Each structure stands twice: as structure tokens, then as C-alpha cells.
A and B are shown apart, each in its own frame.
Chain A
Amino acid sequence: MASEYWNRFAKERASRRRFLGVAGVAGAGAAGMALVGCGGSSSSKTPTAGLATNTAAPNATATPNDPFANAKKGGTYKGVQQVDPPTIDPQGNASFLTKGFSAFSYSRLFKYNSGPGVKVADLKAVPDICESYTASSDALTWTIKLRQGAKFHNIAPVNGRQVDTDDVKYSWGRLTDAKNTNAKQVAFVDSVTYPDLQTVVFKLKAPNAAFLDVLADANILWIMPKEADGGFDPATKMIGTGPWIFDSYTPSQSIKWHRNPDWYMSGFPLMDNFEVDIIPTYATQLAQFQAGSIDEFGPQSDDLVSLKSQVKDVQLLGVISQLMSFFYFDADPNSPWTKNNLVRQAVSMSLDRDGLTDLGYNIKKLQAAGLDVQGPWNNIIPAGMLKFWDDPQGTNAGTGAKNFKYNVADAKAALSAAGYPDGFSTKFQYPASVYGPIFNSIAEASIQFLQAIGIKVTTETQDYASKYITQTFAGNFSGIAFGYETPFPEGGGYPTRFFTDNPLNHGHVKDPQLAQLAVQQQQELDPVKRKALFTQIQQVHAEQMWYVPNQAGAGTGFTAFQPNIQNAISIRTVPGSYPIGTETYPFYWKS
């Protein structure tokens, strides 16, 4: 049983009265039990498929197919990043760069149960530095006990002490500060109280099916020590409870950590050190991977075939990420798209999605070379999010399916019907310096598609840090914008962000029906009914096209690993997401 993989290494306490709508643990098969064991808490009334594995004897015999059998401890793993993070303060910036690095040193209350054999579709929120939790029967009150033995890194001024609720309080305060862009993501929380040093009580305004996922979301709540408030500068030093202890950050050079021997998952991380080199250019990253100087790298599709011949036994992991790219529109009432949804439909129909996917991901060439690549179409839920995504070409697509099909004639007819027989002029903006060549090539091709139906665009490429993420992404722009959505680990993040009142409703969309559906899905605890709501959201949105899904992020993206990296292919977390520092890297080792 896969749960036995962890028996020797992990010990986690069970919770009781699991909220089944979220956990769905009863349905987890053997493979899904990787970080989930069988066990009960001290006051369990109902059997829980909670999180309990016992620490096995050090000399326990490895089970067959144990991914950690023969695991060699030690060594340095070298990753790569293209740009520096704007800051290493986990609450200092909304950038994915900041959040990704946070996952090495910091912990959340919950994380995802990545593990051997766990399929991406089966990932769910499980305790991180939460030890146990209970939910009231109405799912409005959540009581979380902090993990005994979860200690901060032994770095002054925190000095390795046990995490307590003062730290959670400080971290929650940082998250909900008015300056924090993600504050509104937890607006559904009514109050947080701290009855004692190990207990946190969340009271929600309404039931939230994704509450634990919100706490597991790497964008949201990283637990920082209270000493970060004046005792040290979190912009230059990271002190958390995570698997890796921060050594140094040299801007434009590298970030370095070493393993935390006191991490609550004893025995992990397997490697001694982790280093991320900042290498701005793709060609240099490729060369460094070919030379064996870095252990992983994201090759472009054009280079995959040659890379296979250049690096013997290179491991290639192909994943459809949960990255959704989309056009979004300004909210000016006089803009063509605000006045009439036919304009937005026309924009969507102008896109040859198969062509864009092939452009970005070289589908045909790679399939011819024998690689398993796919190119599904993004919906308002990304194609990689299998639990919630409906295929726009599938049976659940509804009457709006036509708006996904490439049809220049119909697009022009729609524009004409909307009062723009000759099209119109507008600005088209996107960040060109951070998302890589796939995004850029799809952006440039999309411009041509828009021009082809008569939308005359003036292109503006924006700097990510200073303009795009702080202004355009927040809805302060005019014209049409193109970008990626923050990948949420749980589908509810998308409609909640897109259609409800929050500062990152990028297009300032006010659609009462979709807003209501977004709230409904959030509060629907039955997973079957919730999925039906997602289908309805996607069908309604296909008619409205407030956000026009594009194909960057929808193809199979590859990560290449050196041949000697073990578990890189088998242990995955939420694709394209940030918590890999906690959820995957601790379990890699080098043969």
C-alpha cells in the first residue's frame, strides 16, 4: 500500500469529523493514500481517512516499489530561475516568483498530498503545520490545532522555537493588510481567534467548499514568525518552518538553502542542499543543463527532440499545467466589448486554438517524434484542472461552444451585428519579459488573428514588475490585455476571482449570474453538485466571454531532469504551481 511508503518517515495525526465535501478522502484509492494513512484521533466518532502514518522502525524493510528504497541522502540539487524574485518576503509581493521561493523556507497550515503514485487529479489539501482540525456541522467554524514539533529554523532571532498562534496571527495580519493584493481572497473569513497558543479558530461568513484549499494555496497564507515584525527583515532573510533553511540570496546570482533536519517530516529532505541559480537567458539555461551544471530545466518544444539525443537518458516530464491564459477587456462602458457580448464572442472566434497550440507547443512535430503531447482547449477553467474543466469541444460545452471555434466569417459577422462592420482600433498589452517564448509567440500570433477580423491593435509590451502585475493585471488599463491567471490549486479560485468583487477581477466584470454562480460553487459542499455548477459557469461564460481563454498554458509543457534525479517524474504537485519547495523537492534524491 502506498501509505506504507511514508511509514518510515512521517508521522501525522488524524483529524476527526473530516469535512467530506472537501476531503473526499473516502474515495481515495491506495495510490491516493500517499500522505494519507489510516488512523484515528483521540476523540474520533466516525472513521476518518485522515492523515495518520506511524513512524516505522528505522530498520523496517522497504516495501516493493518503495520510491525511497535505496534513497541516497545528501548532495546538492540545482534548479534554475530566469529572474530574481521582486522580494523574498512571502507577503511582500503577489508575484509567482516570490511565492515559489517562499515554499522552500515557509510552511502553510495546509499543503497538498503529493506523493508517489498520487495523480494530479487526486491532489487535495492535507495538514502542513496544522496537526489536526475539526469543522462544525455547518462548516462555518474551523478549529485548527498547530502541530507539536513544528519549529522555526534555528536562526536568530527566532532560534528554533515552536510555532504558535502569535505567528499565525502575525501572518494573518500581513495577509489581510490593506496593501496586500491577496487580502480579498480571504474576504469570506469572518473572524480568526486564538483561544490558546496552539489553536486557531476560523469563522466563515458562509460555507466555503475550498476553505482548506485556500489555506493550502501558496498565494495566500505563509506562516511567518512574529519576529519578522521588526526583529529581522523578511525581505533579506527567510526564517520559517519549511523543509529548507535559508542560507543566502545573492541577487542576480543564486538562492541557497540547506536541509532542515528538524522538519516535521523526519528523514526529509533527502538532499543536503538546494540551490536556485538565476540565469536570465534560455540559451544559457539550456547549455548549463547540457553541461550537467543544473539538474532541471524547462526546454522549449523545439529543443526537446535534440535534447533527448544530447543528454543520454534525460527524464522528460510532460504536464498540462493548470495555467490559463486569456484576453481580458477594460471596463470602460464605451468600449465595444462592454457594450455588446458579440464583440467578445468575435474576439474568441478569431482565434485558431489548434494553430496556437501547435505554434506554442509543437504538437505535431513532437507527436511525430513519439512524445506524448496533447493540446486541449482552455476554458474559463484551465484544461489541466481535470476535476473542474469542461472541454469546449465536448458534450458539456453548451450552446457557447461555437464561440470557441475558429471562424473568421462568423467573427466578422458578429462584429458587424454589434455595430462594427469595419472593426475598431484598440490597444493590446501583455508582459513580454517574464512568461517565456511560448507565451510571447502566442501573444504575437493572437495579434494577427485579431487584425484578421478587423480589430486594429496597437501593441504595448509591458514590464512585468512595474506595470503589468501592479496595474494591468489589477484592471487598471485600457484596451485588451493578455496574460496568465495565477494558477489556483483548486478550481473555485477562478470564478471567485473573475466574477466577484475583488481587486483582481481583472476586467472589473459585473455579471450578476456568474457572480452568483461563483458564490454558489464556493458554498456547495456536495462535490457532484459543485461540479455541475462549474459546468454551468463554463456554459454561461462561453456565451458571455468576459475573459477569452487562450492556449498558452494549455499544451503539454515539459520539464527536463538529469538522468540521476530520482522521483522527479513520480512525485508531482499541482502543476505550474508554487509549493514545489515543500511538496516535491524534499523527496528527490540523486542516484
Chain B
Amino acid sequence: MQRYLIRRLLLIIPTLLGVSFVVFILVRSVPGDVTALIGGAYGAADPATKAAIEKQYGLDQNIPEQYVQWLGRVSHADFGTSILSGRSVDSEMQHRLPVTLELGVLALLFSLVIAIPVGILSAIRQDTIADYAGRSLAIGLLAVPGFWIAIMLITLAGAHFVWGVPPATYVSLTDNPVSNLKLMAMPAFILGAGLSGGVMRFTRSSMLEVLRQDYIRTAWSKGLRERVIVSRHAMRNALIPVMTVIGLNLPILVGGSVIIEQVYSIPGIGRYYLASVGAHDYPVIEGINLVVAFSVVFANLAVDMLYSVVDPRIRYA
């Protein structure tokens, strides 16, 4: 197990190197003159100014050289300075990453709170009205875009129930938990609801499979109550594959937060990333990609490790 863990940790390095290199190349391949962004059109038109800007930002070197230099800085946890704002990428991420993480964790909690009970109910009441309702709900949540729900909710709130309008300004959880949760609750719910559709369906099918196992039939024949059978015998086994699905959903959570952060004015990584892509802000794009890639890889590793804890049959060599 330890060897497996070490091996997985070591595999993170080439994964991140690959991701970072691909992103590095891609952003520099997108059309757009970065020197014009920095120096303005007039500055960029002047050869001396353009050369000075390129030298300042290391853009006068070839891409592999730039990449190596960037790697060197990143190895010291220095993600550089935003071309657009002049602010340190590290400090921006320090402020924004916890916000997106909070949104993601709350969304995950919401998705589990919705998906697992509904999925279980759907399975144990297969082919009943409860099952049909649960499945319809899952399809509906999968089909309707989260951003549409977000805009509809906020528009309706503003027009008809202003008490439902979230605060205009973000306040951190540590500064004021009540205000923070007032702002984060709705977007987290919307994000979580969007995720819950898939988790719900997977929970249902996983539970159905477990319920057909011999040991469950034995439990029924012993006269155990349904609640005991489901909660003590079936659920734990049914949720094992669901954990994998949750792990796979993490990148979707990060990507999906971009639009939700825009709609709810949440100063997270997603919103920052969106602005930086439009502005060809290389240091920001590369920094965020690296951090997000690391988070996703690490989260998947954590899910895999948790897998073996939940299911003792699973042992990694």
C-alpha cells in the first residue's frame, strides 16, 4: 500500500509536467499580441519599446527556454506577475483558491445530500412513482444548464422576493460566516444540483446491483427490516463505485464554477481564469492550470485511497 501511494505521488510529477507544457504551448499559440496589451498599441508599434517589453517578460526567448525558466520559478512557488494587473499571481491565488474550494466543497455536499438519498430511494422503490420522480429529477438536473438556473433564480429573487437576493459583496467564511453562507448557499446549491443528477443515477444503479446480491436476499430471509438492510448491508457497498464518480466530477466542479462565479460575483479562481484567458495573461493562465491540475490529480488519489479504506477487499500493491 505504501509503495502504491509513493508510486502514485511520483506519477503526479510527469502528469503535471505534461499538463503544464501543453497549456504553456497552447496559450502562446492563441492569436493576440501580448506586447500590445502591455505597452498599448503605440508602444507595441515602436520596436525599442516592443523589445523592452518582450525582454521584461521573457518573451524574447524561444518557448522551451521560457518554459524552463517558468519551471524554475514555479519550483520556488513563484508563479510570476499578472501581465494585465501587475499583481503577483501567488497572492491572487491565495485569495481566490479558498473561495473556489469553499464553493466546491459546499456544492459537493449539496450534491451528495440530494443525490444519495434520492438515488437510494429510487432503487429501493424501483418502478414506482418515487422511482420515476427521482429519475426525472436526475435527468432534469442534468439537462438544464446551471447558469440558466442561476440567472433565473437571481432575476426572480430581485423582482419578487428580494430577501432571496444574495449579498452584493463577498465576505470570507472566517470574517462573517453568516454573510458568507448567504452568498454561497445559492450558487453552491445550483452547482451541486447540476452534479447530483449523474451521481443520483449512478447511486441508483449501484444500489440496484447490490440489492440483487445473495447476501441481501439472505438478510431479507432472516427477517431484517428494510431500513437495516439498506443502511447496514447494502449502502456501504453501493457507495463504493459512487466515490469514483464523485472523484471524476471534481474537474467538472472547478470548470462549472467559472460561470456561477460570474453570475454571483464570487471572486474565485474560475472568474479570474476567465478574465486572464481573454487577456492572454500567460502567468495567470499557467499558474491556475498548474494548481487546478494538481488539485484534481491529488483529489483523485485521495478518492482511490479512500476506496481501499471503505472496501477492505481492495488492496493496492
Per-residue CB contact flags for chain B residues 49-89 toward chain A (1 = under 8 Å, else 0) read 10000000000000000000000000000000000111100
A55 interfacial by beta-carbon distance below 8 Å: no
Supposing A277-B168, A293-B167 touch, asked if A503 and B278 sit within 8 A by C-beta, the answer is: no
B263 with A284: CB separation less than 8 A? yes
Contacts of B159 on A, CB cut-off 8 Å? 287, 290, 306, 310
Which residues in window 152-201 of B have CB below 8 A to A?
154-155, 157-159, 162, 165, 167-170
- Find the A residue at minimum CB distance from B85: A87
Contacts of A84 on B, CB cut-off 8 Å? 85, 275
Q: Considering the chains assembled together, what is the distance between the CA atoms of A465 and B85 in angstroms?
A: 11
B251 interfacial by beta-carbon distance below 8 Å: no
B165 with A251: CB separation less than 8 A? no
Q: Considering the chains assembled together, what is the distance between the CA atoms of A473 and B43 in angstroms?
A: 14
A181 with B41: CB separation less than 8 A? yes
B40 with A93: CB separation less than 8 A? yes
A563 interfacial by beta-carbon distance below 8 Å: no
B92 interfacial by beta-carbon distance below 8 Å: yes
A contact face: mostly helix, strand, loop, or mixed:
loop
B contact face: mostly helix, strand, loop, or mixed:
helix
B278 with A280: CB separation less than 8 A? no
B209 interfacial by beta-carbon distance below 8 Å: no
A287 with B169: CB separation less than 8 A? no
Per-residue CB contact flags for chain B residues 247-291 toward chain A (1 = under 8 Å, else 0) read 000000000000000111101100110010011100000000000
B7 interfacial by beta-carbon distance below 8 Å: no
Q: Considering the chains assembled together, what is the distance between the CA atoms of A251 and B167 in angstroms?
A: 17
Which residues in window 171-191 of A have CB below 8 A to B?
178-181, 183-184
B45 interfacial by beta-carbon distance below 8 Å: yes
Contacts of A42 on B, CB cut-off 8 Å? none
Q: Considering the chains assembled together, what is the distance between the CA atoms of A467 and B87 in angstroms?
A: 21
B115 interfacial by beta-carbon distance below 8 Å: no
Enumerate 28 A-B pairs (CB-CB under 8 Å) in ascending A order: A80-B168, A83-B275, A178-B46, A179-B49, A180-B42, A181-B43, A250-B267, A252-B268, A253-B170, A280-B262, A280-B271, A281-B263, A281-B265, A284-B263, A288-B165, A288-B168, A291-B162, A310-B158, A433-B278, A463-B32, A466-B34, A466-B36, A466-B278, A466-B279, A470-B33, A476-B41, A476-B45, A503-B45
The 8 closest A-B pairs by CB, nearest first: A287-B158, A474-B41, A179-B43, A235-B86, A470-B36, A291-B165, A252-B267, A293-B168
Please report A residues at the B interface, Cβ cutoff 8 Å. Answer: 78, 80, 83-84, 86-87, 89, 92-94, 178-181, 183-184, 233, 235-236, 250-254, 275, 277-281, 283-284, 286-294, 306, 310, 433, 463, 465-467, 470-471, 473-476, 503
Please report B residues at the A interface, Cβ cutoff 8 Å. Answer: 32-34, 36-37, 39-46, 49, 84-87, 92, 95-96, 151, 154-155, 157-159, 162, 165, 167-170, 262-265, 267-268, 271-272, 275, 278-280
